[in-house]
């Protein structure tokens, strides 16, 4: 193909996608990082300050305390997802992929449903269900004889964050379930049949043959969970508002970024500090991705079927 013709074709086919993506995705990321090295005075004039915003964010007690609080809350948010969402997803995928299971289409559809809904809707619905006012949760616990366990979980500093994490787990468990289910379906029948001929039961086949084979998918699910969790915002904002109460117990990096950028009742919006927070979030996600690529992805043996 002549060079000029190829260039024309590439421009036509790739031009729109590359232009929109660069202009509205990559450029804003770079520009936000650049903006994080500036500060603005009340008149709106910007001046270059180097890394001073980051020194303030990580060093000044007024900034570093809420930042580290949001960061550690975010770690807890992520830990709950890893320890609850992924094991449940694996277990459900394992059950769904059992040979000869009836109604599996129905179960899959129903279990994936919450994932399709808006986080805002999910948050509010659970807010109502768990509210002591309505008493659905209290009544349900009482019905099984555990009434004394009920507490306004979303309102207590000690339990609000874990409760919100579990609501998020409830919503998104469909994603690990589906990805792992797909990976389980890709395991060749002969492998399982051979194990069965050798006399292995369902449990041992699952733990000794199927699970090791889907490890690459499980690690992919983990990194997807990590990125989604360190970028989360909607659920906390819709249930707890921008102040992430009670007393910032549910504040995560997403809500901290929003408050810094836009301001709220307690502070004025600050775009340059907001950029600094976004840049730090970017590097946290980047470090996570690099750890995944270099430590996990490289060690995983890929099985060719």
Q: Which of residues 261-300 bind other proteins (CB under 8 A)?
A: 261-262, 271, 274-275, 278-279, 281-282, 285-286, 289
Closer Cβ to other proteins, 61 or 145, answer by number: 145
| Under rule CB under 8 A, residue 146 binds other proteins | no
Applying CB under 8 A, which of residues 217, 225, 250, 255 lies at the interface with other proteins?
A: 217
Q: And the tokens for 123?
A: 């948050």
Nearest CA to 169 among 131, 126, 201, 211?
126
For 174, 238, 244, 269, the CA distances from 257, given in Å and listed in that order, are 28, 15, 12, 10
Q: Which of residues 234-253 bind other proteins (CB under 8 A)?
A: 234, 237-238, 241
Pair 236, 257: CB distance under 8 Å:
no
Assign residue 20 a region: left if phi > 0, alpha if psi is -120 to 50, beta otherwise? alpha
Q: Rule CB under 8 A: is residue 139 a binding residue for other proteins? A: yes
**Across the strands, what pairs with 263?**
268
Of residues 51 through 110, those in contact with other proteins by CB under 8 A are 92, 95-96, 98, 101-103, 105-110
Nearest to 67 by CA among 304, 214, 277, 267: 277
Q: How many residues bind other proteins (CB under 8 A)?
A: 86
Find where tokens 């919503």 sit.
171
Is residue 210 within 8 A of residue 187, CB to CB? The reply is yes
Tell me: does residue 24 bind other proteins (CB under 8 A): yes
Min separation Cβ 101 and other proteins, Å: 7
Would you say 10 or 83 has its CB closer to other proteins?
A: 10
Binding part of the chain for other proteins, among 60-68, 111-119, 188-196, 244-252 by CB under 8 A, reads 111-119
Q: Which helix (H) or strand (E) holds 79?
A: helix 61-80
Q: Which is nearer to other proteins, 21 or 207 (CB)?
A: 21
Q: How far is the CB of 108 from other proteins (least distance, A)?
A: 6
The residues facing 46 across adjacent strands are 40
Is residue 154 involved in binding other proteins (CB under 8 A)? no
Q: Does 145 bind other proteins (CB under 8 A)?
A: no
Using CA atoms, how far apart are residues 106 and 145, in angstroms rounded to an integer? Answer: 31
By CB under 8 A, name the one of 50, 59, 135, 188 that touches other proteins.
135
Instruction: In angstroms, give the least distance from the CB of 53 to other proteins.
Output: 12
């Amino acid at each position: 193909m002549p060079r000029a013709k190829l260039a024309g074709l590439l421009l036509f086919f790739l031009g729109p996608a590359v232009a929109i993506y660069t202009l509205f995705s990559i450029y804003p990321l770079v520009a936000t990082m650049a903006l994080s090295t500036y500060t603005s005075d009340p008149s709106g004039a910007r001046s270059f300050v180097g890394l001073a915003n980051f020194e303030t964010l990580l060093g000044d007690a007024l900034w570093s305390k809420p930042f580290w609080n949001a960061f550690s809350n975010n770690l807890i948010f992520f830990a709950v997802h890893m320890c609850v969402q992924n094991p449940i997803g694996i277990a459900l995928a394992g059950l769904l992929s059992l040979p000869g299971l009836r109604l599996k289409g129905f179960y899959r559809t129903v279990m994936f449903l919450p994932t399709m809904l808006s986080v805002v809707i999910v948050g509010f619905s659970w807010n109502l269900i768990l509210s002591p006012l309505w008493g659905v949760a209290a009544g349900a616990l009482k019905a099984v004889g555990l009434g004394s366990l009920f507490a306004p979980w979303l309102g207590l500093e000690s339990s609000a964050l874990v409760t919100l994490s579990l609501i998020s787990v409830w919503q998104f468990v469909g994603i690990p379930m589906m990805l792992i289910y797909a990976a389980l379906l890709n395991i060749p029948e002969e492998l399982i049949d051979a194990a069965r001929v050798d006399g292995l039961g369902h449990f041992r086949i699952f733990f000794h043959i199927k699970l090791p084979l889907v490890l690459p998918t499980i690690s992919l699910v983990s990194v997807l969970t990590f990125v989604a969790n360190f970028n989360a915002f909607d659920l906390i904002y819709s249930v707890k508002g921008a102040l992430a109460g009670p007393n910032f117990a549910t504040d995560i990096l997403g809500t901290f970024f929003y408050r810094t950028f836009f301001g709220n009742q307690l502070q004025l919006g600050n775009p340059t500090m907001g950029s600094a927070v976004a840049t730090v979030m970017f590097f946290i996600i980047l470090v996570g991705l690099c750890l995944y690529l270099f430590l996990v992805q490289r060690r995983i043996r890929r099985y060719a079927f």
